[in-house]
Amino acid sequence: FWDFLILFFCLPVVIFNEITKKRLLGDVSCRIVPFMEVSSLGVTTFSLCALGIDRFHAATSPQASTRPIEQCQSIIAKLAVIWVGSMTLSVPEILLWQLAQDTSPVSGVGMEYCTMKPSSNLPESVYSLVLTYQNARMWWYFGCYFCLPILFTVSCQLVTRRISGTEKKTECRGSKHSQCESHLNCTIIGLTIIYGLCTTPENVCNIVVAYMSPDMSKQTLDLLNLINQFFLFFKCSVTPVLLLCLCRPLGQAFMDCCCCCCEGCSPDTASSEGSADSKLKTEMSSSIFFDKPRESPPPLLALGTPC
């Protein structure tokens, strides 16, 4: 959902600015767009960490195959912590950026752009904190939004594989539960790889700009910033598609919901039976994500429809 917000709000603003050299929504977009982009990095970072903890807990649980389905309230609480934490850490971006105007040396036409310069109207204590954030911003990006999710995911995967390897020696190989766990681990690894590849150019550019900005022209800096935003938009576009493709129960549920909405939920008997069978398969396959095997198929009357 946050990736959708980035593509829906930030992408049009960036495209409009590149075409017209005018900033859509003026100073508001200069503050909100960086805030949402940094919040997106935080949401992805802490989500990957939470998924790594979940897989580690599933591997180290004494009764991993009989864990109950997690309640919706617990999941919402975790998402709220991730979102609120990410947005809180991104608040300095609102105070750091502001709108600036300049004249193009080529065409002589006035243009608007966003500059990283705290406003002098801020209180002295807040101004000093924003300056401190600006000076440490490069290494904060690199440490929290790049190294943390990658190292966290790699560490959890290594420990999980080691524990799974020792368990396979005592259990039968090729069990359905172990295959499901392996599939979930591959999904998390795929999401981490996409995130690492898309955030590497931004971190490299930040380091280069921090040490070589006096020797670089404004056109070069603008080009590097545009490249960074392109990779961010690419990540926001690829991540949901990758998740739906790798996570089979989630992708199946998404397709069932889309087909049901397109057909208008017609009460046809044949389609109802086919929908019931598909819901049963989805319900049984989705249980693997909570490590809870079913002893027998649930009754069809208890399934219902999400539409």
What would the pLDDT profile of 49-100 be if each residue is shown by its tens digit? 888 888 777 777 666 555 667 788 888 888 999 999 999 999 888 888 888 7
Identity of the residue numbered 23: R
d(CA 265, CA 271): 9
Give the chain's end-to-end CA distance (angstroms, integer): 19
Identity of the residue numbered 134: Q
Question: Quick one: residue 266, left, alpha or beta (phi over 0 = left, psi -120 to 50 = alpha)?
Answer: beta
- The tens digit of pLDDT for each residue in 95-146 reads 888 887 777 666 667 777 788 888 778 888 888 888 888 888 888 888 889 8
Here the tokens at position 6 are 């980035």
Question: Helices 269-286 and 248-262: crossing angle, nearest 10°?
Answer: 160
Beta bridge partners of 111: 102
d(CA 239, CA 192): 10
Contact 99, 111 (CB under 8 A): no
Residue 114: which H helix or E strand, with range?
Answer: strand 110-116
Question: Across 15-24, 190-199, 268-277, which has the greatest mean pLDDT?
Answer: 190-199
Task: Note the CATH architecture for domain 1-61+71-167.
Answer: Up-down Bundle (1.20)
Tell me what percent of the residues of the chain surpass a pLDDT of 70: 73
- The tens digit of pLDDT for each residue in 137-149 reads 888 888 889 889 8
Contact 69, 294 (CB under 8 A): no
- Those residues whose C-beta lies under 8 Å from the C-beta of residue 56, and which sit 6 or more positions away, are 156, 159, 160
pTM above 0.85, yes or no: no
Query: What residue segments make up the domains of the chain, in order of their start?
Result: 1-61+71-167
Q: Is the dihedral of CA 254, 257, 263, 266 positive or negative?
A: positive
Closest CA to 109 of 22, 26, 29: 22
